[in-house]
Amino acid sequence: MTSYTCPRHGQYLAVDLGLPEGFGAVPITVAAQCQACAQAANALKQQTQALVDVQRATWTRWQEAEIPSRFKNRTVANWRPTTKQAAAARIVHTWLSDLDARWKTGEGLLLMGVPGVGKTHLLAGLLTAAVQAGHTARYASWPDIWARFRPPYSEHPEELMRALRKVDFLALDEIGLTVSTEKEQARLFELIDSRYSRRRPTLIATNATAATLASIGERTADRLREACVAVSIPGDSYRGRAPTDKVLLDAPWPINQPTAEALRYIVSVDGQDVEREWEPKAA
């Protein structure tokens, strides 16, 4: 038996297969490798695979959240509230500080303010945070959803509604003062009430104020008052300055598509250090 030395783990033995020589047989060479090196490499492979799996799942959930591309780089951290909006910002940060509690109690957020104060920015940032915490999330604008219930009925509204009822964290944007017909109010109530009874957090952005909230339907307004923390975001629109806001335009995406980077590791083979490569498996 031949003995080799691994610089990291010491002595290891080559297994003597005791094959007969001669008879014109092709010599079989079995390389001896340090078992401790192999075990360390396996542990590293498992860790790497687990990490990549989490990254891939997070990326997939983030894609499935359907955050509008213009808002994909918006986070709660890069929302810069004006002095007047400081109180609103505190409420949002407090809500976000314990996402597990929101998930358990189903407590949502009701963002109220005129167009352009940053409601969609916040919805996008809050959903991304939910995705990063391991949840499913979905952004949808109410006028877009409602459009599916009207001619030409080209898409399947029931399928969409099922998805919206099911998702962990739902953000409903642009619930305006236009939820006026009984049919539309009934659809909105159905969705809000279903999530309310299952204790699933819903994030709402609306132009309505606490005083005019009933315009979206009295029953829906009641549910939201009960299930959501109300945040009134004061201030004039800042959308006017947004196109020149370099910081926001250049902000990187908070979640990136994972790249399959090969893992390099060293194993002692027949007393020599050999570098090997391994790639994480596809999901």
By CB under 5 A, name the binding residues for Zn ion: 6, 8-9, 34, 36-37, 268
Tokens for 217, please give them: 């339907």
Q: CB-wise, 33 or 120, nearer to Zn ion? A: 33
How far from the centroid of its chain's Cα atoms is residue 73's Cα? 13
Residue 88 Cβ vs Zn ion, minimum distance, rounded to whole Å: 58
- Calpha distance 195→106 (Å, rounded): 8
Rounded-to-integer distance, Cα 60 and Cα 54, Å: 10
Report, in Å, the least distance between residue 51 CB and Zn ion: 24
Please report how close the Cβ of residue 8 comes to Zn ion at its closest, in angstroms.
Answer: 5
> Please, which residue, 37 or 205, has the CB nearer to Zn ion?
37
In our burial notation (b when 16+ CB lie closer than 10 A, e otherwise), range 199-223 reads ebbbbbbbbbeeeebebbbeebbbb
Minimum separation from the CB atom of position 270 to Zn ion (A): 12
Residue 64 burial (C-beta neighbours within 10 Å; 0-12, 13-18, 19+) = middle
CB of 36 to Zn ion, least distance (A): 4
Q: Which is nearer to Zn ion, 241 or 276 (CB)?
A: 276
Q: What does the block give as tokens for 45?
A: 């492979």
To 5 degrees, how large is the angle CA 227–CA 172–CA 225?
25
36 vs 230, beta carbon nearer Zn ion: 36
> Smaller CB distance to Zn ion: residue 181 or 272?
272
